[in-house]
């Protein structure tokens, strides 16, 4: 942050603390915000040839924003990533403008580049089952294999994010009929636990060499600490190579698969929305991969005006 003035550095830190404490942003989100806004402020310092204090930031022009976006694109940043960076900058500027009492129109009016949203690619039902079976073959240690199967089964059977799955603690074992999950933004939801998920976790706990502790992570690493999500990503990467599945067969794809398979089996779209913890029904639609006619049929049945 050497290019950023002390006043801007302090303002950025204060905003980030607010995003973490009040908006419930995750640690990864905070890291991304810090990097994106820092890059922006550093560019403006170099662009204008002088340190950009808070007063200077209030004078950012449309031309300045265009120069930043052009330089960012020319550095190899794609449209999707630039849109994310712009979103972070706008969020910071809204807060800063309200705090300092200036008009942030030049920044807020900047349009994000257009890009095609990548729809999630869930696995077919047989592929999801094959993934779970093949994950078990990736470790020679029986308890590690049982652990990996339990993690993937919980993600698929409960529609959890990998962070939510690895956030479970010993207090959640044995898995109850329902789990209370705190998701993104501190949003709480209750999800039912399938017998398959409960059994998989039970098998893992029977083999796990580390003592159960209500305050410790449910899923442990080899040395007994919290299981790193990179381990599960790596296990699934090896499994998908053996199965000939695409690179999109990731831990998050299991969550997509949960939603898609549930909807295809006749599940209610709004009920699935609640299970996934989505604030918007349109977000839930993006998680599903059934044909349009089937989707509209379920949507019309679920819509309050139907």
Catalytic residue status for 287: yes
Q: From the candidates 161, 198, 220, 240, give the one annotated as an active-site residue.
A: 161
| Number of separate helices (H) and strands (E) present in the chain | 15, 2
DSSP bridge pairs for 281: none
Find, among 4, 185, 9, 15, the residue nearest to 98 by Cα: 15
- Supply 212's token pair: 């159960």
Helix axes 229-243, 142-158, angle to 10 degrees: 90
Contact of 255 with 161, CB cutoff 8 Å: yes
Catalytic residue status for 184: yes
Q: From the candidates 9, 34, 84, 184, give the one annotated as an active-site residue.
A: 184
CB atoms within 10 A of CB 48: 13
Q: From the candidates 47, 90, 252, 270, give the one annotated as an active-site residue.
A: 252
Contact of 176 with 193, CB cutoff 8 Å: yes
The Cα–Cα gap between 161 and 163 comes to 5
Please state the separation of Cα 289 from the chain's center in Å.
19
Q: From the candidates 147, 198, 255, 261, give the one annotated as an active-site residue.
A: 255
CB-based contacts of 163, cutoff 8 Å, min separation 6: 26, 229
Catalytic residue status for 252: yes
DSSP bridge pairs for 220: 226
Catalytic residue status for 255: yes
The phi, psi pair for 278, rounded to 5°, reads -85, 140
- Tokens 């729809």 belong to which residue? 119
Burial class (CB in 10 A: 0-12, 13-18, 19+), 226: middle
Find, among 155, 147, 134, 141, the residue nearest to 227 by Cα: 147
The Cα–Cα gap between 256 and 161 comes to 10
Q: From the candidates 240, 256, 261, 278, give the one annotated as an active-site residue.
A: 278
Catalytic residue status for 256: no
Catalytic residue status for 261: no
Burial class (CB in 10 A: 0-12, 13-18, 19+), 194: middle
What residues are labeled active site?
A: 161, 184, 252, 255, 278, 287
């Amino acid at each position: 942050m050497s290019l950023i003035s002390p006043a801007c550095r302090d303002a950025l830190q204060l905003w980030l603390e607010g995003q973490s404490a009040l908006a419930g942003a995750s640690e990864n989100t905070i890291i991304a915000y810090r990097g994106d806004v820092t890059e922006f402020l550093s560019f403006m310092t170099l662009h204008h040839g002088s340190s950009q204090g808070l007063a200077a930031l209030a004078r950012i022009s449309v031309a300045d924003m265009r120069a930043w976006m052009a330089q960012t694109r020319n550095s190899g940043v794609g449209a999707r990533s630039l849109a994310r960076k712009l979103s972070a900058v706008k969020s910071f500027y809204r807060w800063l403008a309200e705090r300092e009492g200036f008009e942030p129109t030049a920044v807020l009016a900047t349009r994000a580049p257009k890009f095609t949203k990548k729809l999630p690619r869930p696995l077919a039902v047989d592929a999801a089952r094959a993934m779970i079976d093949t994950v078990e073959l990736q470790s020679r240690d029986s308890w590690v294999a049982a652990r990996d199967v339990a993690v993937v089964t919980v993600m698929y059977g409960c529609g959890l994010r990998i962070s939510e799955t690895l956030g479970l603690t010993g207090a959640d074992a044995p898995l109850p009929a329902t789990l209370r999950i705190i998701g993104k933004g501190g949003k709480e939801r209750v999800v039912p636990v399938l017998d398959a998920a409960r059994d998989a976790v039970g098998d893992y706990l029977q083999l796990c060499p580390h003592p159960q502790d209500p305050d410790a992570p449910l899923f442990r690493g080899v040395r007994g600490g919290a299981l790193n999500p990179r381990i599960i990503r790596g296990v699934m990467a090896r499994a998908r190579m053996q199965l000939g599945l695409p690179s999109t067969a990731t831990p998050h794809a299991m969550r997509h698969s949960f939603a898609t398979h549930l909807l295809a089996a006749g599940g209610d779209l709004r009920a699935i929305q609640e299970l996934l913890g989505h604030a918007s029904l349109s977000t839930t639609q993006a998680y599903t991969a059934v044909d349009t006619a089937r989707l509209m049929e379920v949507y019309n049945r679920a819509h309050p005006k139907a």
